[in-house]
Structure 1
Amino acid sequence: MHRANSLVFIDNHDNQRGHGAGGDMILTFRVPKWYKMANAFMLGWPYGYTRVMSSYYWDQWWENGQDKNDWVGPPHDDSFNIISPSFNADGSCGNGWICEHRWRQIYNMVEFRNVAHGTDMNDWWDNGSNQIAFCRGNKGFLAINNDGWDLKETLQSTCLPAGTYCDVISGSKDGGSCTGKSVTVGGDGKAYIEITTMEDDGVLAIHANSKL
């Protein structure tokens, strides 16, 4: 389908519960590392109108590919009044609310998508397996490691001007420093990219607005 006619998402309130195609194989917040990787790819790839899920937790009971607890509503008190989310120090939700839209790795990729808007994918790289990287014009660069070994590569092009950039997955740009990892891009556009299997996230992303 043409990108202008496409709505793209990783999960929604139906297939989270095994309704429709996919059954219990739909990727959700319950597998956070892969879920963040999938959202990063969706938001980083120049295709379609993206939709980010925001949901709540419930105990699942799977039988024949169907969640038998699919009727469970949002967090509530003993009188079935919906309980509002609480907010943790990092901005994420508590009180049984997942609030995927408040995950740093997801909302920072929304900014990545906005920064890279109007550009196409270019300078694709992969290792012939499950490590990939690509640019969005000269606005952004994304790398994903879904292999069982570390990604440690000096890649030929990040497509960004020389400088130091904050990885917006492991942290954010905070004034003149990075709260997570940083990437140094040389005058030739090359940069050393590292995503180890021990990290919480299998993604690295930098963009024009994350430059120090």
Structure 2
Amino acid sequence: MHRAAHLRRPLIAAASAAVLAGAGLALAPAGSAAAPAHRAAPSGHRAAPAGHRAAPAGQHDVIANLFGWNWTSVASECTTVLGPAGYGAVQVSPPEESFDDSAAGHPWWDVYQPVSYRLDSRFGTEAQLRAMVSACHGAGVKVYADAVINHMTGQGSATGYAGTATTDKYTYPGLYQNGDFHHYPGDCSNSDDTIHQGDYTSNAYNVHNCELLGLSDLRTESDTVRATIAGYLNSLIADGVDGFRVDAAKHIPEADLAAIESRLNGAPYIYQEISYGAGEAVQPSDYYGSGDVLDFQTGVYLKQKFQGSISDLQTFGATWGGMNPSDKAVSFVANHDTERNGSTLSWKDGATDDLATLFLLGWDYGTPQVYSSFAWQNSDDAPPDNADGTVTATDCSSSAWYCMDRRTSVTGMVGFHNAVKGAAVTHWQAPSGDVIGFGRGSAGFMALNNSGSAATETFSTGLADGTYCNVVDDCATKATVSGGSATLTVPAKGAVAFDTAGPAATRR
């Protein structure tokens, strides 16, 4: 059956049509140095479940989000790039068998419509998944899988990439039957079974229990459903997966997620997809007890400021409207949803997108994520694939892919992030709206230039006198600190950063 347009994977899972138009995401007033105050988390929120790790351990915590990459390519990137650069983890696409939408040309979003929990997908076989995890671990890189556990498909009938067939969207032989899903009127008050736009501001029950864009909504309060989901996640843990990005977590009650997590083996790292909307009935802070949260506002504000005045970024962080406490936030410039709906920067913004990524790695907020994926022209475009929809090997030398994670400037800043982790932001300076500099205690200093021409400025660094390697260009240039100050020529749409850990090649 050909998919209906309204069954697309949502561009931001919780926000529906308003967010597609840019509404519902808080924006700082133009020219303001600070955004509206962040709504405080409810007092006494539930502690994390036993066994849940609240944050990535160690100095190396940067996550490379390799969206749409097949398992063999991820394995190679871990070995040749991520491990040597000092990344802490890699996020990989949903590994379950999903709907094979060949009629629509295998769009990227069909991987968000599971038909089974077999670990054979358009990204590779389970054996290839295990080999990828082993290779990444060998390089010192953890693996976090994108877990689609809120729903199954939105199709009347569907066949998966591994051949599993379903006859309707509520029947999955050997897995789920009709009673394992939410239905009108007992569970959802909307007669069409779907979440309506007004529910986001007034009805958390419907946000949790109605269908997201027609996708069959799992009855996660059911012990049987919880056990089945936990079994799927535990099969990934058995294959070596270290944690999970929980897709569409905003549509699962936090208590249900906590109950599922309590059944997981080991201590997987959990971070949840919950977009912020001012005045909405379901907020990211509702979920702090069951894991960290993806901070959508990070990318929204960075787009605003890097297309406006970066000198406004002095207070950037948890005090800005809708942003989360730093120790609960997974921060990002863009992801597969936001690059398509325009709420954040994307690869199409070129050097501005690059520079915002460097800033995120240099600043002290959240667990930063670096996004690499494939180039697209139409929002439904598939990653480069074979005729059967299986994804081909990533070729970073091709214009079909963009590999932010391996750029010299980015790998240098991953090292900088690791070297200055835990040091406060100090010595803020803004010689102009386009040029800023800041220190990270006595551990490092960074200057950024968002203008179209080089800028030469003298900055107070807070570092001991000496000559330092510019990690942004892999030591091609150096910075000299004398009397605590350095005169730096910062390239157009570029940055200079240096730290006390030494040349990039010796500190990883």
Instruction: Tell me, yes or no, if structure 1 residue 205 matches structure 2 residue 508.
Output: no
Q: Give the AA of the match of 2:445.
A: F
| Residues 139-163 of structure 1 deviation map (CA, whole Å, 9 limit, x = unaligned) | 11110112345321122x2222222
Greater per-residue strand proportion:
1
CA distance in 1, matches of 2:380, 2:369: 23
Task: Answer whether contact 1:40 1:109 (CA < 8 A) is retained.
Answer: yes
Residue deviations 1:111-151, cap 9 Å, x none?
A: 11110011000011111422100000111111011234532
Q: Which is helix-richer, 1 or 2? A: 2
Amino acid across the alignment from 2:488: I
TM-score, normalised with respect to structure 2: 0.34
Pick one of 27, 33, 52 that aligns with 2:370. Answer: 52
Which residue in 1 is equivalent to 2:381? 72
Aligned partners of 2:454, 2:380: CA distance in 1, in Å? 41
Match of 1:193 among 462, 465, 488: 488
**SS across alignment from 2:368:** strand
1:78 deviates by: 4.1
Gaps of 5+ in 2: 1-323
Q: Secondary structure at the match of 1:40?
A: helix
AA aligned to 2:347 is F
Aligned residues: 181
Q: Normalising by structure 1, what TM-score? A: 0.77
Per the alignment, do residues 154 and 211 of structure 1 end up closer, same or farther by CA in structure 2, a change over 3 Å counting? Answer: farther
Q: Could you tell me whether the CA contact under 8 Å between 2:471 and 2:503 is conserved in 1? A: no
Q: Does the Cα contact within 8 Å between 2:435 and 2:451 map onto a contact in 1?
A: yes
Report if aligned partners of 2:446, 2:497 keep a CA contact under 8 Å in 1.
yes
Pairing of 1:121-200 with structure 2 (within 5 A): 121-155=425-459, 157-169=460-472, 171-172=473-474, 178=475, 180-186=476-482, 188-197=483-492
What secondary structure is seen at the aligned counterpart in 1 of 2:464? coil
1:8-19 alignment, distance < 5 Å: 8-18=331-341
Work out whether residues 375 and 399 of structure 2, in 8 Å CA contact, stay in contact via their aligned partners in 1.
Answer: no
Letter in 1 for 2:380: W
- C-alpha deviation, 1:56, in angstroms: 0.7
1:106, CA displacement in angstroms? 1.4
SS of the aligned residue for 2:327 comes to helix
Offset at residue 95 of structure 1 (A): 6.6
- Tell me how far apart the structure 2 counterparts of residues 147 and 54 of structure 1 sit (CA, whole Å): 24
Q: Decide whether aligned partners of structure 1 residues 84 and 149 sit closer, same or farther in structure 2, where only a CA change above 3 A counts.
A: closer
Aligned residue type for 1:159? G
Q: Decide whether aligned partners of structure 1 residues 36 and 189 sit closer, same or farther in structure 2, where only a CA change above 3 A counts.
A: same
CA distance in 2, matches of 1:196, 1:45: 19
- List per-residue Cα deviations over 1:36-89 (Å, max 9, x = no partner): 210111111111121111101122xxxxxxxxx222111123454322023xxx
Inter-partner Cα distance in structure 1 for 2:421 and 2:397: 29
Matching residue's letter, 1:191? A
Q: Which runs of 5+ in 1 are unaligned?
A: 19-23, 60-68, 87-91, 173-177
Conservation of the 8 A alpha-carbon contact between 2:468 and 2:480 = yes
Aligned residue for 2:471, secondary structure, equals: coil
- Which residue of the partner structure matches residue 346 of structure 2? 28
Q: Distance in 2 between the 1:196 and 1:6 partners?
A: 31
Identity value in percent: 31
The amino acid that maps onto 1:151 is A
Larger radius of gyration: 2
